[in-house]
A and B are shown apart, each in its own frame.
Chain A
């Protein structure tokens, strides 16, 4: 991990992470991984249409924030949002059902893979236009600040987002208004098909820009759930205490291509293999074993997680298709779509 002296180092966690929290972090990572892999399988079976952007390899970030956040905090994410939605407790059949265009889907089939939302769980939307949700997260944070609720908005995005205008507008705006928002850049080294380093003037696309907004530069190992949990907890506390926004750059790697259509042939040979050795689930499993958790305990957890994914898949597959009546529903708050009398 590259860290300069100016940068805050992603040191091994010093805060005490309790046993239950550790198991929760592992459980979530397992579920995110298995569910995402299932989504891929369902694509191959042609049960999921359209596109999808998988988070395979990036689960530690979603899981760590999911555990560190308060239930009434808000998540804003991009089209690569399955894991972030699940990490807040959204139902797996709701997610898989939405991907499959079924009635049981979180959005009744109206949003699809790129727009997963579950307001009851604080998932305030997945946004498919790069950068758009950063100012929206700022607005939610403003609302929390205005009403004095100590809620925090957490906004996840990729490295490619750091080069669009809305990123800079939102960062400046949030810093000037001292808003309780945590911006999390998941730097997986590629903006879609192009290495982020080939199109960005600085080495760390988010952290190296933090100074422009008066924020500390934070880089964390995004494949280490404990490390992410620690910086997440710090940033959330700071925001709740009125200390304003944070910008965190979590270094990670996606195991698959940008989207379903991308075989990721642009990656240099050996790069994926190197990162597979740093798979967040392998890192975490080894840590748990070292900390004294037993092999059977972990095996049980893995079987339970897979069982949940299997059960959710069955429910989603059995769910009926959306009703055609839904097409003209819910444009307006009255539930309809009338534009004339």
Chain B
């Protein structure tokens, strides 16, 4: 085990797959010579050369189109969209083309590609560089949606995404890039569609994703220590496919469900999980489901405002206490 940052785990995951398979190629804006604006792809150009690691113009449609055309003809591209907010300028490629082509062609075309993108708040970048948009992707049939919270998961899930024969949207939480964690040495491949139970409790199951996983863990520690409320914390890791069995099992055991989401209120992924839980383990619930989300507003920029918009540890503690006490 080596200690790597979340950003170094990105480069490690890509490097592992590029070394293994000559057909894995990597493209994006400022990804090669500059090593990425978040420095998450430093060293790849030097290791694999300009034929396989390519800088692109500011042309998100061209980047995703190129990845799609390359994937349908034998390559396994990893494309970077610098900020997930920019998915809006190439959403046609994601939602209409990449996600639907296999189905529309009745299986004639397979698209083994990965779209990596920096997602989420915490960097004071304002409403067009800080959104959490994983719920946009989750609403489109035909694309897998992954969002790791830890460096080890970044490497392992990225490798799994590259090896998956389907298109995968891989959301990296940008304020986690400097976070450090143990990452297995050597070849490491995880599995898509498996949630992880990070903490076991008796009173409540908190389901969270990416940055919110860390806040949920901190909140659970405070709730246990200061308020005697014992919480399970589930890191969803992958929204599509969704590990409903782990979630339903934990909710049935604790009798409570809390989701913690960065998404604005309406149609956040927690709403889908709440719906599944209400449908399938209603009689195991001891009380109403609680969704903790960002209010339904565009994200403000000032640190004071941003910190009070996305769910904080203090807010998670408060809302769970209010609900359970």
State in angstroms the CA–CA spacing of A143 and B245 once bound together. 40
B186 within 8 A of A: no
Q: Which of A310-341 contact B (CB under 8 A)?
A: 326, 329-333, 335, 337-341
- Contacts A138-B62, A331-B103 given; indicate if A119 touches B51 (C-beta within 8 A): no
**A108, B106: Cβ atoms under 8 Å?**
yes
- A83-114 interface with B by 8 A CB criterion: 106-108, 110-111
Q: In the docked arrangement, what's the CA distance between A39 and B116, Å?
A: 43
* Inter-chain contact B61/A107, CB cutoff 8 Å: no
- Contact between chains at B75 and A341 (CB < 8 Å): no
CB distance from B119 to the nearest CB of A (A): 20
A191 within 8 A of B: no
Q: With A132-B96, A173-B56 in contact, do A142 and B66 touch (Cβ < 8 Å)?
A: yes
Structural contact, A140 and B70, CB atoms closer than 8 A:
yes
Known A129-B96, A143-B75; contact A115-B105, beta-carbon cutoff 8 A? yes
Q: A127 at interface (Cβ–Cβ under 8 A)?
A: yes
Contact at B109–A117, with CB atoms within 8 Å? Answer: yes
Q: How far is the CA of A254 from the CA of B71 in the complex (A)?
A: 34
Return A271 CB to nearest CB of chain B, in Å: 33
Contact A129 B69 (CB under 8 A): no
Q: How far is the CA of A341 from the CA of B191 in the complex (A)?
A: 13
Which of A118, A170, A332, A340 sits near B62, CB closer than 8 Å?
A170
Residue of B109, B244, B276 near A124 (CB, 8 A) is B109
Asked if residues B69 and A165 are in contact (CB atoms below 8 Å), the reply is: no
Q: How far in angstroms is the closest Cβ of chain B from A128?
A: 8
Given known pairs A173-B59, A333-B110, the reply for A135 and B66 (CB within 8 Å) is yes
Q: Does A243 sit at the interface, judged by CB under 8 A?
A: no
With a 10 A CB-CB cut-off, give which of B69, B241, B243 has the most chain A CB atoms: B69
Residue B61 contacts which of A108, A115, A169 (CB distance < 8 angstroms)?
Answer: A169
B62 & A173 in contact (Cβ 8 Å cutoff): yes
Residues of B84-99 contacting chain A, CB below 8 A: 92-93, 96-97
Contact status A142-B69, CB under 8 Å = yes
Across-interface contacts of A135 in B (CB, < 8 A): 59, 61-66, 68-69, 93
Q: Is the CB of A330 within 8 A of B103?
A: yes
Give the docked Cα–Cα distance between A131 and B243 (Å). 37
List residues of chain A with CB within 8 A of the CB of B166: 332-333
Query: Distance (Å) between the CB of B83 and the closest chain A CB?
Result: 18
A330→B108 CA distance, assembly (Å): 9
Chain B 239-259 near chain A by CB (<8 Å), digits 1 or 0: 011111100000000000000
Interchain CA distance A329-B107 in the complex, whole Å: 9
A25 to B117, CA, bound (A): 47
* B141–A136 CB distance below 8 A: no
Which residue from chain B places its CB closest to the CB of A98 in the assembled complex?
Answer: B106
Convert A166-206 into 0s and 1s, putting 1 for each residue whose CB lies closer than 8 angstroms to a CB of B. 10011011001100000000000000000000000000000
Chain A residues, Cβ within 8 Å of B101: 125
User: Is A232 part of the contact surface with B, judged by Cβ < 8 Å?
Assistant: no
Chain A window 249-262, contacts with chain B (Cβ cutoff 8 Å), 1 for yes, 0 for no: 00000000000000
Q: Does B193 make an interface contact (CB < 8 A)?
A: yes
Q: By DSSP majority rule, is chain B's interface helix, strand, loop, or mixed?
A: mixed
How far in angstroms is the closest Cβ of chain A from B100? 9
Interface string of A129-158 (1 = CB under 8 A from B): 101111111111111101100010100000
Give chain B residues whose Cβ lies under 8 Å from the Cβ of A79.
none
Check B241–A136 contact: CB distance below 8 A.
no
Residues from chain B with Cβ under 8 Å of A26 in the complex: none
State the Cβ distance, B138 to closest chain A Cβ, in Å.
Answer: 9
Chain A neighbourhood of B245, CB < 8 A: 341
When chains A and B are docked, how far (Å) is the Cα of A328 from the Cα of B181? 40
Distance between Cα atoms of A159 and B58 in the complex (Å): 24
Q: Indicate if the CB atoms of A115 and B69 lie closer than 8 Å.
A: no
Determine how close the nearest CB of chain B comes to the CB of A235; give it in whole angstroms.
Answer: 18
Residues B69 and A137 in contact, CB atoms below 8 Å apart: yes
With A138-B65, A146-B75, A173-B57: A339-B240 Cβ-Cβ less than 8 Å:
yes
> A177 to B51, alpha carbons, bound, how many Å?
11
A138: B residues at CB distance < 8 A: 62, 65-66, 69
From residue B29, how far is it (CB to closest CB) to chain A in Å? 12
A229: interface (CB < 8 Å): no
Q: Does A284 contact B (CB under 8 A)?
A: no
Contact B102 A338 (CB under 8 A): no
Contacts of B75 in A (CB 8 A): 142-143, 146-147
The answer on a CB contact under 8 Å between A134 and B65 is yes
| Residues of B close to A169: CB separation below 8 A | 57, 59, 61-62, 65
Given contacts A132-B92, A132-B97, A173-B59, contact A111 B107 (CB under 8 A): no
With known contacts A137-B69, A139-B70, A144-B73, A341–B105 Cβ distance under 8 A: no
**Contact between chains at A139 and B96 (CB < 8 Å):** no
- Please measure, in the bound complex, the distance between the C-alpha atom of A115 and the C-alpha atom of B100, giving whole angstroms: 11
B304 within 8 A of A: no
In the complex, what residues of A have CB within 8 A of residue B159's CB? Answer: none
In the complex, A74 has a CB within 8 A of chain B: yes
**Residues on the A chain within 8 Å of B25, using CB:** 146
Of A127, A143, A177, A337, the contact of B73 (CB 8 Å cutoff): A143
Beta-carbon contacts under 8 Å, B164-179 to A: 165-166
Interface flag for B285 (CB, 8 Å): no
Contact of B107 (CB < 8 Å), options: A166, A172, A330, A338: A330
Kindly list the 7 A-B residue pairs having the minimum CB-CB distance in the complex, ordered from nearest.
A135-B65, A139-B69, A333-B165, A139-B66, A169-B59, A140-B69, A173-B62
Can you name 8 A-B residue pairings with CB atoms under 8 Å?
A: A110-B105, A127-B97, A132-B65, A135-B63, A137-B65, A166-B92, A173-B56, A338-B241
Chain A residues with a Cβ under 8 A of chain B: 74, 106-108, 110-111, 115, 117-119, 124-125, 127, 129, 131-144, 146-147, 151, 153, 165-166, 169-170, 172-173, 176-177, 326, 329-333, 335, 337-341
Residues of B within 8 A of A (CB): 25, 51, 54, 56-57, 59, 61-75, 77, 92-93, 96-97, 101-110, 112, 141-142, 165-166, 193, 240-245, 276
